[in-house]
């Protein structure tokens, strides 16, 4: 077991004008399950392959435990990698596939058999040890690929989108199995995925990458509760956080007809940058519905007081049983904007109706409109 350290690790592909991975700094703890997540092309696989020794490191260093492995060949790094396509040998049985690396390393036959049988038991593969990969389901092949990594008892597991060839249901099952297995074995793991749900459910910590740059590294909880910038705010969470540019007013921000209080530091920070707006983030579950069935065009109520909140015209309602998601439009600063609001599953509004919603105070995220960075708290 070991820690893994990316120390300003950089990869610039020959002929590229900017790094695919730019001064990556991550300190992974012994036994930790770290997930690298981000959109396609952000540098996840490159980061993993740099750790595996399959890609040159052009700047900085990579360490496994106290060993500087930056320029070591893959075979000397004591890692095992699981690839997206599993890379099983078609002419070998499951047992031969799982034991192959040990055979190459000259491990005695009886020891190989023992390790393969142990891993097969953990992975529920015992009855398939004599089969060839083509006679297995996708999920079983995936487990063979895992088994091949496990028998090597490496210091670090590296996994590059190992679930992306499985159907949705199997993916959910397998992600729980992999996370559980990793916790039992306690082997430091770096896991790559583009799927933020996978990242959030599996990782002890999650590192979000964009354009080769680390955006934030945090526990799933903190990542969700305190995204560091607009990119992370929009990337983590499904449906995504609503992000709306709103004018700053005295003591808060103007949300339709309501002034929602915002931490003074956030407003000061925005003003210091010369911004007259901030971008406010509200998760779909953090709106209070203050009125149903109103009229979107109504500017004030009968007694002359302006109606509270934002008028949301309901376009689509997604009913998920426990919850419903309302996909609607609002008018902010003269523009039509999309808004998603979570409502209780048994209180979903009709399509075409109007809700008035107010973001819950204390659940507001505030970002600088000019820099995109979180401000205030």
Q: Give the binding site for ligand ADP (CB under 6 A).
A: 13, 16, 20, 38, 40-46
Distances in Å between the Cα of 272 and the Cα atoms of 100, 136, 259, 373 are 62, 62, 21, 14
Q: Which residues pair with 253 in a beta bridge?
A: 248, 260
The dihedrals phi and psi of 184, each to the nearest 5 degrees, come to: -65, -45
Binding segment for Mg ion among 39-47, 88-96, 211-219, 286-294 (CB under 5 A)?
39-47
**Smallest separation, CB 35 to ligand ADP (Å):** 13
C-beta of 43 vs 307, nearer to ligand ADP:
43
Q: Does 45 bind Mg ion (CB under 5 A)?
A: yes
Q: Which among Mg ion, ligand ADP, none contacts residue 41 (Cβ within 5 to 8 A by kind)?
A: ligand ADP
Q: Which among ligand ADP, Mg ion, none contacts residue 234 (Cβ within 5 to 8 A by kind)?
A: none
C-beta of 38 vs 284, nearer to ligand ADP:
38
State the sign of the Cα–Cα–Cα–Cα dihedral 124, 128, 129, 135: negative
C-beta of 14 vs 334, nearer to ligand ADP:
14
**Smallest separation, CB 45 to Mg ion (Å):** 3
Q: How many residues bind Mg ion (CB under 5 A)?
A: 1
C-beta of 209 vs 330, nearer to ligand ADP:
209
**Smallest separation, CB 190 to ligand ADP (Å):** 13
Q: Which strands sit side by side in the sheet containing 287-292, from one edge to the other?
A: 287-292, 354-359, 310-319, 323-332, 335-344
The dihedrals phi and psi of 294, each to the nearest 5 degrees, come to: -75, -170
* Helices and strands (DSSP H and E) totals, the chain: 9, 20
d(CA 271, CA 140): 57
Q: Does 193 bind Mg ion (CB under 5 A)?
A: no
Q: Which among Mg ion, ligand ADP, none contacts residue 258 (Cβ within 5 to 8 A by kind)?
A: none
C-beta of 20 vs 228, nearer to ligand ADP:
20
**Smallest separation, CB 64 to ligand ADP (Å):** 20
**Smallest separation, CB 57 to ligand ADP (Å):** 13
Q: Which among Mg ion, ligand ADP, none contacts residue 356 (Cβ within 5 to 8 A by kind)?
A: none
C-beta of 5 vs 45, nearer to Mg ion:
45
Q: Which residues pair with 284 in a beta bridge?
A: none
Q: Which residues pair with 325 in a beta bridge?
A: 318, 342
d(CA 164, CA 40): 13
Exposure b/e, 157-190, CB count within 10 A at least 16 = b: bbbbbbbeebeeeebeebbebbbebbeeeebbbb
């Amino acid at each position: 077991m070991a820690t893994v350290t990316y120390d300003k690790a950089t990869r610039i592909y020959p002929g590229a004008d900017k790094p695919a991975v730019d001064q990556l700094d991550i300190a992974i703890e012994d036994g930790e399950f770290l997930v690298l997540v981000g959109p396609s092309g952000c540098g996840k696989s490159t980061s993993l392959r740099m750790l595996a020794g399959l890609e040159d490191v052009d700047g900085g260093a990579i360490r496994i435990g106290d060993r500087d492995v930056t320029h070591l060949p893959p075979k000397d790094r004591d890692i095992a990698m699981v690839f997206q396509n599993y890379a099983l040998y078609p002419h070998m049985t499951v047992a031969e596939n799982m034991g192959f690396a040990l055979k190459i390393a000259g491990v005695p036959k009886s020891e190989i058999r023992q390790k393969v049988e142990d891993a097969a038991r953990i992975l529920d593969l015992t009855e398939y040890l004599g089969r060839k990969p083509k006679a297995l389901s996708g999920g079983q092949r995936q487990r063979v690929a895992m088994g091949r990594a496990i028998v090597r008892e490496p210091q670090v597991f590296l996994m590059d989108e190992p679930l992306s060839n499985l159907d949705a249901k199997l993916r959910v099952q397998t992600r729980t199995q992999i996370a559980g297995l990793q916790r039992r074995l306690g082997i430091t793991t770096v896991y790559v995925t583009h799927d933020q749900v996978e990242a959030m459910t599996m990782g002890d910590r999650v590192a979000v990458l964009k354009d080769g740059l680390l955006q934030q590294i945090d526990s799933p909880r903190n990542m969700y509760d305190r995204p560091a910038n607009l990119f992370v705010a929009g990337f983590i969470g499904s449906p995504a956080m609503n992000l709306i540019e709103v004018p700053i007013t005295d003591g808060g921000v103007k949300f339709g007809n309501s002034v929602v209080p915002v931490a003074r530091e956030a407003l000061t920070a925005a003003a210091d940058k010369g911004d007259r707006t901030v971008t406010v983030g509200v998760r779909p579950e953090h709106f209070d519905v203050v009125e149903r069935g109103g009229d979107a065009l109504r500017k004030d109520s009968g007694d002359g007081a302006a109606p509270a909140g934002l008028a949301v015209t309901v376009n689509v309602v997604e009913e998920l049983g426990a919850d419903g998601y309302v996909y609607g439009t609002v008018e902010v600063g003269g523009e039509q904007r999309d808004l998603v609001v979570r409502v209780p599953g048994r209180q979903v509004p009709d399509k075409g109706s109007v809700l008035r919603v107010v973001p819950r105070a204390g659940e507001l995220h505030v970002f600088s409109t000019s820099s995109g960075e979180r401000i205030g708290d």
